[in-house]
Amino acid sequence: MGPRAETREAILEAAYGCIAQDGITRTSVGDVARAAHVSRASMYRYFPGGRGELIEAVVVWEYQRFFIRLYEAVCDAETLEEVIERGILVARRAIADHEVLQVMLRAHPEAVESALRAEVAPTRTLVAEFLAPYLEQHELAPGVEVAGASSFLARMVLSYMGSPGRWDLEDPAEVSRLVRTELLAGIVPAP
């Protein structure tokens, strides 16, 4: 990581810390500059759009870090079922326990939505690519292709992470039931 990238990372970390401590509405560009030990002019060199651009960048930065942590939690799973179950459990718990995200969703859901809009499609692709080798190792139902199944599962898993519907995604037994009866139904042969 070069000096410019390190400074940007320090600014994002400082902004995240300020939001965690003071909330999104009370966090100013000046607060973040002081916390990151950079000038206000430097802040505007990195984030010329000011506070709004900075907030969006923090959301995207934390979103990317979230998926890195999620990958680390599931990368040693051995089966398709295990990777999906563990992914949903870890993600759901992380989202529910993420104080800054919850504060931002309550105070400024539009900022979170706007920042993540561009991230969703690439994330779906990455999740589908991650799931494909597990599907290749699994017996699939007749007519099911790996590419279509991995794309479907990526969409569904990401959807359930954000909105559990009628499922209790804190309960491993319930998540297991969801994976086997809804997500994998029609993709893998019934046992």
Question: In the predicted model, is pLDDT for residue 173 greater than 90?
Answer: yes
The separation between CA 127 and the C-alpha centre of its own chain, rounded to angstroms, equals 11
Residues 131-157 have a mean pLDDT of 93
106 or 71, which is more confident: 71
Q: Specify the pLDDT at position 84.
A: 94
Domain range 58-183, its CATH number among 2.40.30, 2.70.50, 1.10.357, 2.30.30: 1.10.357
Question: If you search the block for the tokens 């100013």, which residue do you land on?
Answer: 28
CA atoms within 13 A on the CB side of 125: 5
Q: What is the pLDDT of residues 10-68, one digit of tens each?
A: 999 999 999 888 888 889 999 999 999 999 999 999 999 999 899 889 888 888 888 88
Instruction: Name the token pair of 3.
Output: 């000096």
Amino acid found at 90: V
Q: Specify the pLDDT at position 5.
A: 84
- Report residue 161: phi and psi, to 5°: -60, -40
Radius of gyration (C-alpha) of the chain in whole angstroms: 19
Question: In the predicted model, is pLDDT for residue 177 greater than 80?
Answer: yes
Q: What is the pLDDT of residues 88-112, one digit of tens each?
A: 998 888 877 777 777 777 776 776 6
Q: What is the pLDDT of residues 119-137, one digit of tens each?
A: 778 888 989 999 999 999 9
8 A C-beta contact, residue 172 and residue 182: no
8 or 103, which is more confident: 8
- What number does CATH give the domain 1-48? 1.10.10.60
Q: Specify the pLDDT at position 56.
A: 86
Q: Specify the pLDDT at position 115.
A: 64
Domain ranges of the chain: 1-48, 58-183
Residues 128-154 have a mean pLDDT of 94
Stated pTM of the model:
0.75
Instruction: Name the token pair of 176.
Output: 């297991």
Q: Specify the pLDDT at position 116.
A: 66
Which among 162, 167, 165, 163 is positioned nearest to 177, based on CA atoms? 167
Q: How many residues does the chain have?
A: 191
165: buried, middle or exposed (CB in 10 Å: 19+, 13-18, 0-12)? exposed
